[in-house]
Structures are given as structure tokens and as C-alpha cells.
């Protein structure tokens, strides 16, 4: 059996905001095509961990290895790393002054130097894929939350990332709009995208996740395959958490 | 009243020359002021202490001294080193002055753009410069349009101070004509109408621009 390619490895990661220690000795491994789901209560550090992987936050110590290369803010061009690691935010963060298509083609043109023609073609393909083929020229303010988030996914995909990070992508959505976004993410996972997803959607974690990581107070308490975590959790805190939300 | 209309109609030749100068002064100084304002706004948000202090110092000096003093220092003070033409002394003086206010307007609107915009751009691999130029500044400018419009109106009226270094712009014309005829009031009423019309046109233009920019809202 060939060894799966390792996309992300985190070793002994620590992070504090001032006096507040938010991540303790985190170890995490993500292999190619894996969908890793981080679950846990608000404030457990899962979003901070995700943001460290994209260097929107900087670790205090520990190692972050992206596609075999240990990345340090001081010595690496983080823009290059970020270009390979897409991120989807809770509050979408679409560019309001650009159309839907404008949002999607911005980075490929400006960062990758792609020709406008090519970027438009690829951007339209991605928007079609996320079901927004009729919204190219609309401004984000005219879209529903679910549509906005799907544009945000297309925008991240336009950079042809090797890894996609999702930071509570459905938490800001009306309940009836959650499904369409999860569906898009599920398709992406099935196509083999390597994904790290912070979410409160346990159904998604169970169905789409290959590996589930439960965090509490800045530590990884338990991790394993979905059926292990959801059906046979070993740790009391995991059980308590699952009971509280299911 | 009849006398006023005679003067108003009869003096259009000279006033139009003054108007032309006022417009040139205003536009040139405002363009320079935007560049200065943008530059000092960048210093203010650079998070580099020494640059922030330089920007603060500039804004403090401009806000802390009358515009007419600034223009006089430029014109008479610099004349000993480099004889600067009246038009440029006035334009640079006005730009130097408006620039400080514009810097504060732009800084405020840049800082009002949500942090998430910056993060989204950075997460796509855009560097700080690109993020500022493509994502933050276009939004900040939109948000700054009403305040900038207001500052432009102030700039146009402030250009009347250029008459004190001998420029025959609108106010200079009215002052000269008034003193020549020993009949100031009709000329001052006339010049007031010219300013009112300019400001009205600019106000409508700014409103139109705001509407146009609001398409994405």
C-alpha cells in the first residue's frame, strides 16, 4: 500500500493571545484528499488552529509543515503558501465592490498573473459548479447568505488550492440555507479535495468527514474516524460535548 | 437692485476670467491634496512609529495654523530661496492644507473597512500592497466620497485666499472691481453668486457620484 501524501502536519503548536493561552501542544496530520473536521465548543481554539494553518494568526511555537515544507513566517513568503491554501470564512468576506465573477477572478489575475480571458473562463466554470451560473454580474449584496458562501468557495477554488480550510462556513446562515453550502462542500470532498473544516454541523462531520478531531479548551481531547467519535467516544468530555449538542 | 443686475451682467467678462482661475486653482490644489492626503494616510496606518509621528506632526501643523499664514510663508518665505510663482504658491499652499484633512478622511475610511476584507484578500495570496490597492482603497474611497466632497467645497472657497498674494481669482476680481468703483457691495454679492453656483454644481455632482457608486450596495 502506498503511503498517502501528507498535506499538513502540525507539531506541538502553541498559541496565546496576550495572557490567554488558546492552543496547547497541538499535533495534527492531514493527508491528501482527507476531510478533517474540527469540532468543539465555542472558544475551544478550533478556529484559531485553522487560522494558524493559513498564517492569519501566528503560532508562538511548534511546527507547521505544509506539503512537506516547514513554514516559518520569518523566512517564508506566506503569500505563496496562502495561495495554495484556500480559506472560507464564517462571514463570507466577499469583496462588496466587485461582482460575483469579479470576486472570483481577482486573485488568479492579480496573484497568479492569469490572463483575464482564462480567469473568466475558469471563474464561470467554478460558479457554474457551485450552482451560481446565472449570477456572474450581480453584486454580492444581492445574494442570499448561502449564495454568498458558495461564491466564497468558488473564489477560493479559483486559486486552484491544494488544501481548503473552512471556518464555520454555515454558522452565519439561516437554517434553510445551510444545506446548499454543505452540499457544495460535500461534492468538493468527494472530488478529493483536502479539507479542514471547523463546524458545528455534526451530520456533515459524520457523513463527509474522514477524521474528526474534538477540541476542548485549547487541547485535542480525542480524534478518530467519525463512527468512533460519534458512536464510541472514549473520553468523558467528548461524550458530554456530544450529549450537549445532539 | 437694478444697479446690482447691471453690475452682475456687465462684469461677466472679468468674473469669468476670475472663475477660470478659481477653477484651475481648486482643481490643481485638490489633485495635489489627494496625493498628499493618501501619502500621509498611509503613513498613519503604517504601524511604524516614526512614520506615524511624521504624519501627526504634519496634521498638527496644518490644523494648528491659519491657511493664510501657510500661504504667506510659502510665498514670501520661500521667495528668498526660490521665487515661486503666485499660482503655484497658492496651489501648493492650498494642497498642503487640504491634504491634512483629506489624510484624516482617508485614514478613517480605510480603518472602517472590515478586517475580514483584508483577511479574505490575504488568504487568496494577495500581498499587503495588492490588498490595499485592489480591495481596501476602492472601498475606502467610496465610503469617503461624501466627506471628500465636503472637503472639496471647503477647498474651493479657501482658494479665495489666493487673492492675498495677488491672484485675480473670483474674490480678487470682486475686491479689485469694488475698490475701483468705491462700490463694494454689488461686487461681493456678484462673487457670492458665482461661489454658490460652483458649490451647487459640485454638490449635485457628488450626489450623482454617490448614487453611481451605490450600485454595489
Residue pLDDT, tens place only, A77-92: 999 999 999 999 999 9
Q: CATH code for B2-216?
A: 1.10.3720.10
The helix/strand/coil state of A168 is coil
B115 to chain A, closest Cα gap in Å: 9
Q: Does B122 touch chain A (CB under 8 A)?
A: yes
pLDDT tens readout for residues A93-135: 999 999 999 999 999 999 999 999 999 999 999 999 999 999 9
Tell me if A82 and B215 make a contact (CB, 8 A cut-off).
no
Q: What is the pLDDT of residues A130-149, one digit of tens each?
A: 999 999 999 999 999 999 99
* Residue pLDDT, tens place only, B90-99: 999 999 999 9
Check CB contact of A79 with chain B, cutoff 8 Å: yes
Treating both helix axes as pointing N-terminal to C-terminal, what angle do B184-213 and B137-158 enclose, rounded to 10 degrees? 170
Q: Is A216 on the interface with B (CB under 8 A)?
A: no
pTM of the model: 0.86
Q: Minimal Cα–Cα distance from A93 to chain B, Å?
A: 6
Domain A6-244, architecture per CATH: 3-Layer(aba) Sandwich (3.40)
* Contact (CB<8Å) A159/B135: no
Q: CA distances (Å), A66 to each of A54, A168, B147, in order?
A: 10, 22, 46
Check B125 against A82: CB less than 8 A apart. yes
Q: pLDDT tens, B78-90?
A: 767 777 888 998 9
Task: Determine the residue of chain A that is closest to B143 in CA distance.
Answer: A97
- Closest CB to B126: pick one of A89, A110, A152: A110
Q: CB-CB: which of A54, A89, A111 is closest to B126?
A: A111
The verdict on a CB contact (< 8 Å) between B119 and A95 is: no
pLDDT at A228 over 80: yes
CB spacing of A94 vs B120 below 8 angstroms: yes
Q: Which residues of B touch A107 (CB under 8 A)?
A: 121, 124-126
Residue A16, beta-bridge partner list:
A21
**Helix/strand number for chain A, H first, E second:** 9, 10
**How high is the pLDDT of residue A31?**
95
Cβ within 8 Å of residue A163, ≥6 positions away: A7, A8, A30, A53, A66, A84, A85, A86, A193, A194, A195, A196
**Cell triple for B168:** 485675480
Window 31-60 of A: residues touching B by CB (8 A cutoff) are 54, 56
CB A163 within 8 A of CB A9: no
- Of A83, A93, A139, which is closest to B125 when you measure between CB atoms? A83
Is the separation of the CB atoms in A208 and A186 below 8 Å? yes
Q: To probe the interface with B, which of A52, A79, A109, A196 has the most B CB atoms within 10 Å? A: A79
> What percentage of chain B carries pLDDT values higher than 90?
78
pLDDT, tens digit, for every residue of A26-59?
A: 999 999 999 999 999 988 999 999 999 999 999 9
Condensed to tens digits (0 to 9), the pLDDT of residues B30-73 reads 999 999 999 999 999 998 999 999 999 999 999 999 999 998 88
Residue A108, burial from CB neighbour count under 10 angstroms (0-12, 13-18, 19+): buried
Residue A1 reports pLDDT greater than 60? no
Q: Do A107 and B120 touch (CB under 8 A)?
A: no
Q: Are A231 and A225 in contact (CB under 8 A)?
A: no
Whether B165 and chain A come into contact, CB under 8 Å, resolves to no
Chain B residue numbers touching A110 (CB-CB < 8 A): 126, 130, 134
What single-letter DSSP state applies at residue B135?
Answer: I
Please state the rounded mean pLDDT for residues B13-20.
93
Which residues of B fall within a CB distance of 8 Å from A143? Answer: none
Chains A–B, number of C-beta pairs less than 8 Å apart: 72
Does the CB of B123 have a partner CB in chain A at under 8 Å? yes
Q: Who's near A191: CB < 8 A, 6+ residues apart? A: none
Chain B residues with beta carbon closer than 8 angstroms to that of A54:
123
Query: What string of DSSP letters covers A11-76?
Result: EEEEEEETTEEEEEEEEEEEETT-EEEEE--TTSSHHHHHHHHTTSS--SEEEEEETTEE--TTTS
What are the residue ranges spanned by the domains of chain B?
Answer: 2-216
Q: Which of A47, A71, A95, A169 best probes binding to B when mutated, by most B CB atoms within 10 angstroms?
A: A95
Q: Do B138 and A97 touch (CB under 8 A)?
A: yes
Q: Do the chains contact at A141 and B217, CB–CB below 8 Å?
A: yes
Contacts of A82 in chain B (CB under 8 A): 122-125
Q: How far apart are CA B104 and CA B38, in angstroms?
A: 9
CB contact under 8 A, A97 and B125: no
Partner residues linked to A64 by β-bridges: A10
Domain boundaries along the sequence of chain A: 6-244
Amino acid at each position: 500500500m502506498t503511503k498517502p501524501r501528507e498535506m499538513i502536519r502540525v507539531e506541538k503548536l502553541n498559541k496565546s493571545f496576550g495572557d490567554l493561552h488558546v492552543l496547547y501542544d497541538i499535533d495534527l496530520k492531514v493527508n491528501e484528499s482527507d476531510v478533517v473536521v474540527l469540532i468543539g465548543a465555542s472558544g475551544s481554539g478550533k478556529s484559531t488552529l485553522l487560522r494558524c494553518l493559513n498564517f492569519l494568526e501566528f503560532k508562538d511555537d511548534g511546527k507547521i509543515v505544509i506539503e512537506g515544507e516547514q513554514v516559518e513566517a520569518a523566512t517564508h513568503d506566506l503569500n505563496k503558501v496562502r495561495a495554495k491554501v484556500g480559506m472560507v470564512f464564517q462571514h463570507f468576506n466577499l469583496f462588496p465592490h466587485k461582482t460575483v465573477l469579479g470576486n472570483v477572478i481577482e486573485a488568479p489575475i492579480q496573484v497568479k498573473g492569469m490572463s483575464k480571458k482564462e480567469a473568466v473562463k475558469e471563474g464561470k466554470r467554478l460558479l457554474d459548479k457551485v450552482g451560481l451560473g446565472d449570477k456572474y454580474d450581480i453584486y454580492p449584496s444581492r445574494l442570499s447568505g448561502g449564495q454568498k458562501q458558495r461564491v466564497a468557495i468558488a473564489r477560493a477554488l479559483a486559486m486552484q488550492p491544494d488544501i481548503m480550510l473552512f471556518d464555520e462556513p454555515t454558522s452565519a446562515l439561516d437554517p434553510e440555507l445551510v444545506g446548499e453550502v454543505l452540499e457544495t462542500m460535500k461534492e468538493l470532498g468527494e472530488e478529493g479535495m483536502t479539507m479542514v473544516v471547523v463546524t458545528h454541523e455534526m451530520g456533515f462531520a459524520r457523513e463527509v468527514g474522514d477524521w474528526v478531531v474534538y477540541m476542548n479548551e485549547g487541547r485535542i481531547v480525542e480524534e478518530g474516524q467519525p463512527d468512533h467519535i460519534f458512536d464510541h467516544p472514549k473520553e468523558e468530555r467528548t461524550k458530554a460535548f456530544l450529549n450537549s449538542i445532539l | 437692485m437694478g444697479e446690482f443686475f447691471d453690475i452682475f451682467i456687465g462684469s461677466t467678462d472679468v468674473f469669468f476670467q476670475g472663475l477660470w482661475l478659481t477653477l484651475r486653482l481648486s482643481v490643481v490644489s485638490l489633485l495635489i491634496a489627494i496625493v498628499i492626503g493618501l501619502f500621509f494616510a498611509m503613513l498613519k496606518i503604517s504601524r511604524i512609529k516614526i512614520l506615524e509621528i511624521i504624519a501627526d506632526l504634519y496634521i498638527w501643523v496644518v490644523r494648528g495654523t491659519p491657511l493664510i499664514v501657510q500661504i504667506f510663508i510659502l510665498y514670501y518665505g520661500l521667495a528668498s530661496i526660490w521665487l515661486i510663482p503666485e499660482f503655484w504658491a497658492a496651489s501648493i499652499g492650498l494642497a498642503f492644507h487640504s491634504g491634512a484633512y483629506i489624510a484624516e478622511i482617508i485614514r478613517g475610511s480605510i480603518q472602517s473597512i472590515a478586517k475580514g476584507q483584508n483577511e479574505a484578500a490575504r488568504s487568496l495570496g494577495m500581498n499587503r500592497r495588492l490588498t490595499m490597492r485592489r480591495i481596501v482603497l476602492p472601498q475606502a474611497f467610496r465610503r469617503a466620497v461624501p466627506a471628500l466632497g465636503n472637503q472639496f467645497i471647503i477647498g474651493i472657497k479657501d482658494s479665495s485666499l489666493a487673492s492675498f498674494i495677488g491672484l485675480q481669482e473670483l474674490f480678487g476680481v470682486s475686491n479689485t472691481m469694488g475698490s475701483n468703483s468705491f462700490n463694494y457691495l454689488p461686487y461681493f454679492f456678484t462673487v457670492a453668486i458665482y461661489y454658490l453656483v460652483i458649490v451647487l454644481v459640485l454638490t449635485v455632482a457628488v450626489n450623482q457620484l454617490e448614487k453611481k457608486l451605490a450600485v454595489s450596495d
